[in-house]
Amino acid sequence: MPKTYLDYAATTPCDPKVTRAMSVFLKKDFGNPSSIHNFGQKASMAIGGARQSVAEFLGCESEEIVFTGSATEADNLAIFGTVKASKITKPHIITSQIEHPAVLESCRELEKQGAEITYLPVNKDGVVEIAELKKALRPNTLLVSIIYANNEVGTIQPIAEIGELIGHAMSSGHRMSKIYFHTDAVQAANFLDCDVKKLGVDLLTLSAHKIYGPKGIGALYVKKGTPIAPVIYGGGHERGLRSGTENVAGIVGLGQAIKEIQNPKLKIQNIKIRQFRDKLIKTILKIIPGSRLNGSLTQRLANNVNISFDGAEGEAIIVMLDQKGIAASTGSACSSGSLEPSHVLLAMGLSEEQAHGSLRLTLGKLTTQQDIEKVFKVLPTVIQRLRKISGYHS
Amino acid sequence: MEQPYYTKKILERFIHPRNLGKIKDADGIGDTQNLRCGDLMNLYIKVAKQDGREIIKDAKFETIGCGHAIAISDMICDLVKGKTFEEAQKVGFETIVKEIGPIPPVKMHCAKLAQAALKAAIDDYLKKSKK
């Protein structure tokens, strides 16, 4: 059965150029970049090249890039690292209720350790309100961490506006510290401008496997002069911020993936993805009664569809779709180990029942017209079938 | 070794449940909801007398929930047929796993929900038959 993959927000396949670039450093040029001999130096040079590619994408200096083992690790380094380096005894952090667990759980851990945390609400469209953030600022605010584009509903947060607000806040009133601004740009990188100067951020997280690169490699932009302490100790790699022999092939893969997403061809691909997305949203809402779109229609990533269905449960939808050759995702409680429905959907004001029946379809550069048509053919029968099992009548 | 999240047997039960739907002239109806995960279940039973004892003659279900919850609902209907109320209420997660194979432990609450629905259906019958 031909497989239709509509879960690009979970992960993406490696671009052939990426795997080609990587394989050299798994086989021929396998040296340890810390070694002085030729094998090591080749690897070291390759890391330098990848660092340069990432820096160009972000509009920063190479020295401001730290490679990590994942985006989760980059988020942890940004949050724990700035708190650790700060002299404030009880720092205050502002984040949102719709962050990725990598940020949310890091903040919860710091809260246990005595930090003050504000979890900003979002409006029903799934967007943070600037006014709420302004109200939340305190004299001991050290860090603001807001996701650039949400992974579940794809809503885009006003990062540049927040950056500006923080800039103003620092020139007025008594402050115990400069306020540092972090954004997790993992989902945004494929579609949005990630120029750190335009965004006004001090820290920014990237992941390779969401942009057609390999798993197990992430990066953190750390603006020059930002006090930050490591969370992993050892041989002092990555300017002491991330010890551990570099994942050379992974770093090269990330560098190549970053180059590829700046390819002008991608702009055209993204237009096609957006058209597919719009068609999916419009058609599904039309042909399936008792369905509604979750999250803003306009402030939304070009590849994200998130729809709730009455009388059907998310995991059941996913498993039935998988049986028919469509791979998708859900924010349903059943799929999470905790049995709690998606914190993102609940923060947007959905009832537990509505969050229970959510379906996420995320598109990518290999998505075709046939994939979309298959959804139109299969999804209504799946929902109908599950509604029969649940005894639901619209 | 890691088990598949949905085994073949569970998938078969989920996609083609054998005891789906309402019993029109049901003797007992039980509805329950798991407030935490949001699953809802209706269980319908038909009661008959056999050798002077009351037994569950037929059982059907409607469930809004994940594939495991649906498969478990269907299994429990099969497993309680022909049993007395006392015997039927002993059917639980372990009985179901023995019949159908491994289910992730996180889904144990699905069996609890089905058991609660069955108990509610039996209670409903007992309440009605006292009148």
**Residues of chain B contacting residue A319, judged by C-beta atoms under 8 Å apart:** 6, 11, 14, 66-67
The C-alpha atoms of residue A209 and residue A190 are separated, in whole angstroms, by 11
**Residues of chain B contacting residue A355, judged by C-beta atoms under 8 Å apart:** 38
Q: Can B110 be counted among the known catalytic residues? A: yes
Residue type at position B107: K
Give me B130's structure tokens: 């006292």
Quick one: A353 exposed, middle or buried, by C-beta within 10 A (0-12, 13-18, 19+)?
Answer: middle
Q: Which residue is catalytic, options B75, B110, B111, B122?
A: B110
Among the residue ranges A43-47, A156-160, B52-56, the one predicted with the least confidence is B52-56
Q: Does A338 have pLDDT greater than 70?
A: no
**pLDDT band per the 50, 70, 90 thresholds, residue A337:** low
Alpha helix (H) ranges present in chain B?
8-15, 67-80, 85-88, 93-100, 108-130
Which residue's structure tokens are 């620092």?
A: A170
Strands A218-222 and A180-184: unpaired
pLDDT of the residue at A28: 95
Q: Which residue is catalytic, options B20, B37, B66, B116?
A: B37
Which among A312, A337, A389 has the least Cβ separation from residue B17? A389
Which among B36, B38, B66 has the least Cβ separation from residue A353? B38
With CA atoms as reference, the chain A residue closest to B40 would be: A390
- Which CATH topology does A16-261 take? Aspartate Aminotransferase; domain 2 (3.40.640)
Query: What are the domain boundaries of chain A?
Result: 16-261, 264-389
**Residues of chain A contacting residue B29, judged by C-beta atoms under 8 Å apart:** none
**Residues of chain B contacting residue A335, judged by C-beta atoms under 8 Å apart:** 66
Q: Does A332 have pLDDT greater than 80?
A: no
B20-23: long-range contacts, CB 8 A cutoff, minimum separation 24: B20/A388, B20/A389, B20/B60, B20/B61, B20/B62, B20/B74, B21/A391, B21/B60, B21/B61, B21/B62, B22/A391, B22/B60, B22/B62, B23/B58, B23/B59, B23/B60
pLDDT of the residue at A2: 63
Tell me if A376 sits within 8 A of A283, measured CB to CB: yes
Q: Per residue in A274-305, pLDDT tens?
A: 999 999 999 999 999 999 999 999 999 999 99
Please state which CATH class domain A264-389 belongs to.
alpha beta
With CA atoms as reference, the chain B residue closest to A356 would be: B38
Q: Kindly state the percentage of chain A with pLDDT values over 70.
A: 98
Query: What are the residues of chain B with a beta carbon less than 8 Å away from any beta carbon of chain A?
Result: 6, 11, 14-15, 17, 20-22, 36-40, 42, 62-70, 106-107, 109
Q: Does A161 have pLDDT greater than 60?
A: yes
pLDDT of the residue at A233: 97
Q: Can A334 be counted among the known catalytic residues? A: yes
pLDDT of the residue at A172: 76
How confident is the prediction for chain A on average, in pLDDT? 95
| List of domains in chain B | 8-126 (3.90.1010.10)
Which residue's structure tokens are 């649940």?
A: A390
Sheet of A141-145: strand order equals A65-68, A218-222, A203-207, A180-184, A141-145, A92-96, A116-120
Q: pLDDT averaged over consecutive 10-residue blocks of chain B (131 residues)?
A: 83 95 95 79 95 94 94 95 95 90 87 92 93 62
b/e per residue, A208-243, with b = 16+ CB within 10 A?
A: bbbbbbbebbbbbbbbeebebebbeeeeebbeebbe
Quick one: B119 exposed, middle or buried, by C-beta within 10 A (0-12, 13-18, 19+)?
Answer: middle
